[in-house]
Amino acid sequence: MIRVLVADHQPIVSYGIRMFFENSTDVKIVNTASSAKQLLDYLKNQIQMLFSCP
């Protein structure tokens, strides 16, 4: 299982990525971050993959 943190400041982008992987058996969205602080706080817990849109 790949654990993913979705990081984007626009909620619609985060929502779209979450919905894309919603039914995946290989990917689990573990959290979302809408700010750099939220992202850095979560990264301390070692995630496997990060999706970020500029």
Q: Each residue's pLDDT tens digit in the chain (54 positions)?
A: 888 889 899 999 999 999 999 999 999 998 899 998 888 888 776 666 666 666
Sort strands 49-52 and 27-33 into parallel, antiparallel or unpaired.
Answer: unpaired
Task: Report the pLDDT value the prediction gives residue 21, as an integer from 0 to 100.
Answer: 94
Question: Residue 4 in contact with residue 32, Cβ under 8 Å?
Answer: no
Question: Residue 45 in contact with residue 3, Cβ under 8 Å?
Answer: no
For the residues of 17-49, what is the DSSP string, one character each? HHHHHTT-SSEEEEEEESSHHHHHHHHTT--SE
- pTM reported for the whole predicted model: 0.67
Domain count for the chain: 1
Please give the residue range of the domain that contains residue 32: 2-52
